Amino acid sequence: MNFQTQRTGRHARESIVFALLRAATYAILLCGTLIVGTIAFKGAPVLFKPSFPFINTTFLTSAPETLHVFEYDGRKMELGDREYRAFRGKLAADAAANPHSEIRIPHSEQSYVYSAGGIFPCIVGTLFLVTGSMVLALFFGVSSAIYLNEYARQNAVTRLIRLAILNLAGVPSIVFGLFGFGLFVIFLGWNVSLMAGWFTLAFMVLPVVITASEEALKAVPRGYREASLALGATRWQTIRKSVLPYALPGILTSSILGIARVAGETAPIMFTAAYVVRDQLPWQVAKLGDFLFQGVMALPYHIYVVSTKIPQNEYTERVQYGSTLVFLILVALIAAASILLRNRLRKKHQW
Amino acid sequence: MKTRSNETAPENEAAATPPPDGTNPGAHSPFAGSRSPLAPDSAQAVRRSLAARGIRAFFGSTALVSLLILTLITIFLFREGLPFFGASQREIALYRQAGLEYIDILRRAETGHIGLVRQLSDIRLRAFQHFVETGHLAVSDANARLAAFDNFADRFSDAIGPVRGLVSDIGEAATGIKTRAAVENDKAIQRQQLLDAGKASEAGQIKIEPVDFQKEIKPILDTLPACRDALRSTADELRAILAAAPSFDGRSLAARMETFQKRARAYIAALPGIENELSGWTPSEPVRWHASIVSFLTGREWITASFWQDWYGILPLFTGSLLASLIALAIAVPFGVGAAIYTSQVAARREQSLIKPAIEFISALPSVVLGFFGIAVLGELLRSLSQSPWLDWLPGFPIIERLNALTAGCLLALISMPTIFTLAEDALTNVPRALREASFALGASRLQTTLRIITPAALSGIISAVLLGFGRVIGETMVVLLCAGNRIAIPDFSAGPAVVTQPVHTMTGIIAQEMGEVVRGSTHYRALFVVGMTLFILSLAINYAAQKILRRYRLPSA
């Protein structure tokens, strides 16, 4: 009898503790979902339309403009800067044509910067930044991993390199920003530019890419290398033909998570690559050489700007939630692709 | 021949058993011996060997990139940051030579008095409310009842007059000296630049008249008797005023008045100390060599672009960073570790494959998005929640500022959670099976096994996970920049747990906020780099500690 009660008490305690742990787990997931959900809920009306083509193409394909809110003819008007000027120009012309009519030219009652138009330059800038830095990071990262996993021996230098990678992974992103500013922007004189941003971001994700690539290389069975070497292939031939092809999917998928991180970082590009506003698109440069040395608008930095530099109200909300949602979708696509790809490859490559 | 055969030997077994470098390659590599007789010692073979070496050197050099980056980060942070200490040292020296320090000593009497006057007006406000709301007096009647108090407060507030007059008079003289010294300094730099450019004649035209500090400071020093008189007369007058302080009937008001009087007496008692400091002050006393380091590390003020004197003290920023991070960890550790225990020990396979990608997804949430969420939703949400009456008992509620350490801390918790979860989960999963099985075999329940066997066995991994999570949040920029409130002041810890609802500024935030606006090469600019250096060193230390703990307490693998 005694034994029985003890057992049930124990069981009850066990299930309570486990239920608590489970609640903690799902609370985390709930927080994440709530945040994403709020942004999606508020941002969706900006991004999507009920009618064809269902997507607000203006928002995605035009540059940011100042929003003017004013009253005209008893109606509340909201116009972007260009339309507003055209509107006023037309009214002024009308007034000049028939001077006796009572056409009043409205004055902008309130204006909010960046709140009209779209975020096209920011999307483009982010894509350029991410692509460039990822190419650099993959180049240095995969080569480093090949050396560490295929060539290097356990000696002092290798240990030092591994220590450096480990420590580099913990350096705050703002410190990378300062470093990029000190080295690329000032010392090398690249100014605020794509190049400076590329290198800063690439160096920041390097530890992630190296670690991911090493894991992928380690996962290739030793037999593949030994067989290749036994057939008389050199070490490089072995790596190129019998190791890399099998490791590459793993390298790429894990590195994509690194891309997501690069795309999401704001602090390192604040003083190395991002402009608050820029009229030209990246390809509108006088000569090709200027391409690398131009600053760009970037989505994360734009979100920072629109959430701090303009007030929060119904007019500015659109650009704030809209840009955030676009950005989230961009990052989510990258991350989801990597997770899906990895799960599929795991099933495909089983040694 | 020996080296070449070594080149081609599979070295990935080195991971398991490090070969004694090149001493006897044949013993380790079955291919080495067979390769040498086959390879013809021709030009082709030499070329091939060279190519192999070239490739190896290429990969080796890319591997060195990480090391290079770490070195470059160190070099460039120090290159831009270290001159701060020299510049700051010069500024502190000028602060003393121009007599600003002298005036700041005197000004302490004024600031202390301002605090007391503020307390008086607070008491008046409460008394007025008390009379009107609980005593049901008309506004004019309430004011009439407070007439005696107002008279007392006015006299108290005017008593500082002589000191205030002196401070503003000699303040102007001191800033005048400082400005002149700065102008001469600029001229000297300009001349040096001209000389460097080889324009000697133009450089000769710039006349530098070095400021004779001893002569200039004389009028300020001569005010010492006047300062002494002002301080003494103020003290006497305050004492006289306090003796005739009005009293209140209400208990809480009387208590407040009591505290005020106590503080006022302590203030008066401290005035002779200020007087002594003033007479002991000498402008020619050299500034100690470590003054700038001390003022950076222990400075309680971060004041920039001030007409009086800039101070770069990291303490308010450091405490702000620490406060926000600790709030984050207080939330993230129970949840993150709990979730890790649940996922690794309790959850079924299917559930695991739902939780893990979901948490990875949270880790991919960009910090600027979380920051935006904080500014747009969470700040307001927390504030309106804090205003609901049934949460009144919580410290710091209702929240006054929308953006504060708590708002930032909640979001930082979400940022550190994936780090803590992933690493802790790894540590828990890697606990040898034998421990678990042995525990079950001894009749322990699942709960006992999980909490008493598995978790303690993985504790070193969990602690290092928490440390790395801490490193992650203390280095996080965007969330704190957007949500922490950005008030540069040491949080008032005397408020108890309510301190979490105060706005703070952080080390990362200040760099992001001010870096874009500073003049390159100025002291302020360098100060930001020193803050960056501090962050860098801090992150290395956290990393080191995490590794150390992991190594030191690792279980022998079964």
The side-by-side arrangement of strands in the sheet containing A75-80 is A75-80, A64-72, A110-117
Is the CB of B368 less than 8 angstroms away from the CB of A300?
A: yes
On the question of pLDDT at A189 being above 80, the answer is yes
Mean predicted confidence (pLDDT) in B280-293:
85
Within 375-414 of B, beta carbons closer than 8 Å to A belong to: 375-377, 414
pLDDT classification of A39: cutoffs 50, 70, 90: very high
Do B334 and B422 touch, CB atoms closer than 8 A?
no
Chain B residue whose CA is closest to A138: B62
What CATH number has the domain spanning B322-552?
1.10.3720.10
CA B71, CA A203: separation in Å to the nearest integer?
A: 12
Is the CB of B369 less than 8 angstroms away from the CB of A324?
A: yes
On the question of pLDDT at A47 being above 90, the answer is no
Alpha helix (H) residue ranges in B159-250: 161-196, 200-205, 213-221, 224-243
pLDDT classification of A7: cutoffs 50, 70, 90: low
Give the three-class secondary structure for B398.
coil
Is the CB of B508 less than 8 angstroms away from the CB of A24?
A: no
- Six-digit token string for B414: 């979400």
A220 touches chain B (CB under 8 A): no
On the question of pLDDT at B126 being above 60, the answer is yes
On the question of pLDDT at A309 being above 50, the answer is yes
On the question of pLDDT at A4 being above 60, the answer is no
On the question of pLDDT at B230 being above 90, the answer is no
Q: What is the Cα Rg of chain B in Å?
A: 34
CATH 1.10.3720.10 residue ranges of chain B are: 322-552
Is the CB of A174 less than 8 angstroms away from the CB of B471?
A: no
pLDDT in tens, B245-255: 887 777 788 88
Where along chain A do its domains lie? 64-98+106-117, 121-348
Write down the pLDDT at residue B13.
39
Q: Which of A29, A35, A140 to mutate to test the interface with B (most CBs of B within 10 A)?
A: A35
Chain A residue whose CA is closest to B532: A175
A9: distance to nearest CA of chain B, Å?
Answer: 12
Do B436 and B456 touch, CB atoms closer than 8 A?
no
SS (H, E, C) A13-59: HHHHHHHHHHHHHHHHHHHHHHHHHHHHHHHHHHHECCCCCCECHHH
Neighbours of B197 (CB within 10 A): 10
Is the CB of B369 less than 8 angstroms away from the CB of A307?
A: no
pLDDT in tens, B137-181: 888 888 888 888 888 888 888 888 888 888 888 888 888 888 888
CA B50, CA A161: separation in Å to the nearest integer?
A: 25
Q: Which of B53, B59, B370 to mutate to test the interface with A (most CBs of A within 10 A)?
A: B59
Single-letter code of the amino acid located at B214: Q
Nearest to A266 by CA among A293, A306, A294: A306
Write down the pLDDT at residue B177.
85
CA B189, CA A197: separation in Å to the nearest integer?
A: 34
* Closest Cβ–Cβ partner in B66, B355, B371 for A165: B66
- Six-digit token string for B129: 């409310």
Write down the pLDDT at residue A348.
64
Nearest to B109 by CA among B119, B117, B97: B117
Write down the pLDDT at residue B544.
92
A304 touches chain B (CB under 8 A): yes
B436: distance to nearest CA of chain A, Å?
Answer: 17
Chain B residue whose CA is closest to A235: B8
On the question of pLDDT at A190 being above 70, the answer is yes
Write down the pLDDT at residue A173.
93
Is the CB of B370 less than 8 angstroms away from the CB of A183?
A: no
On the question of pLDDT at A70 being above 60, the answer is yes
Q: What is the mean pLDDT of chain B?
A: 85
Write down the pLDDT at residue A36.
93
pLDDT in tens, B26-77: 334 444 444 444 455 688 888 888 888 899 899 989 989 999 999 999 999 9
Percent of chain B with pLDDT over 90: 36
Mean predicted confidence (pLDDT) in A294-314:
89
Q: Which residues of B touch A40 (CB under 8 A)?
A: none
* Closest Cβ–Cβ partner in A25, A174, A187 for B339: A25
Within 460-479 of B, beta carbons closer than 8 Å to A belong to: 468, 471, 474-478
**CA distances for B504 relative to B297, B379, B383, B543, angstroms:** 18, 14, 16, 25
Residue B27, C-beta contacts closer than 8 angstroms, at least 6 positions apart: none
Give the three-class secondary structure for B16.
coil
B15 touches chain A (CB under 8 A): yes
Write down the pLDDT at residue A346.
64
On the question of pLDDT at A290 being above 60, the answer is yes
- Six-digit token string for B455: 């978790």
Give the three-class secondary structure for A67.
strand
Residue B532, C-beta contacts closer than 8 angstroms, at least 6 positions apart: A174, A175, A178, B77, B81, B511
CATH fold for domain A121-348: MetI-like fold (1.10.3720)
Q: Which residue has the higher pLDDT, B433 or B210?
A: B433
**CA distances for A253 relative to A93, B14, B286, B295, angstroms:** 60, 27, 62, 49
Write down the pLDDT at residue B25.
39
CA B151, CA B130: separation in Å to the nearest integer?
A: 19
On the question of pLDDT at A226 being above 50, the answer is yes
On the question of pLDDT at A345 being above 70, the answer is no
Q: Which of A42-46, A329-333, B281-285, B542-546 has the lowest average pLDDT? A: B281-285
B466: distance to nearest CA of chain A, Å?
Answer: 13
* Closest Cβ–Cβ partner in B341, B478, B511 for A266: B478
A223 touches chain B (CB under 8 A): no
Mean predicted confidence (pLDDT) in A210-221:
90
Write down the pLDDT at residue B142.
82
Give the three-class secondary structure for A242.
helix
Q: Which residue has the higher pLDDT, A51 or A45?
A: A45
Write down the pLDDT at residue B14.
39
Within 297-356 of B, beta carbons closer than 8 Å to A belong to: 334-336, 338-339, 341-343, 346-347, 355
Q: Which residues of B touch A182 (CB under 8 A)?
A: 76-77, 79-80, 529
Write down the pLDDT at residue A347.
67
Residue reference for tokens 């690539």: A213
Do B476 and B449 touch, CB atoms closer than 8 A?
no
B295: distance to nearest CA of chain A, Å?
Answer: 23
Interface size A-B, in CB pairs within 8 Å, comes to 288
Write down the pLDDT at residue A178.
93
B37 touches chain A (CB under 8 A): no
Q: Which residues of A touch B63 (CB under 8 A)?
A: 143-144, 147-148, 152, 161
* Closest Cβ–Cβ partner in A25, A182, A236 for B338: A25
B80 touches chain A (CB under 8 A): yes
Q: What is the mean pLDDT of chain A?
A: 85
- Six-digit token string for B365: 């949430």
Mean predicted confidence (pLDDT) in B78-98:
90
pLDDT in tens, B170-211: 888 888 888 888 888 888 888 888 888 888 887 778 777 777
**CA distances for A41 relative to A268, B92, B207, B299, angstroms:** 30, 55, 68, 46
Do A338 and A256 touch, CB atoms closer than 8 A?
yes
pLDDT classification of B20: cutoffs 50, 70, 90: very low
CA A97, CA A99: separation in Å to the nearest integer?
A: 6
Residue B123, C-beta contacts closer than 8 angstroms, at least 6 positions apart: B149, B253, B256, B257, B260
pLDDT classification of B425: cutoffs 50, 70, 90: very high
Do B402 and B502 touch, CB atoms closer than 8 A?
no
CA B552, CA A10: separation in Å to the nearest integer?
A: 35
* Closest Cβ–Cβ partner in B18, B357, B366 for A327: B366
Nearest to A197 by CA among A289, A283, A131, A286: A131
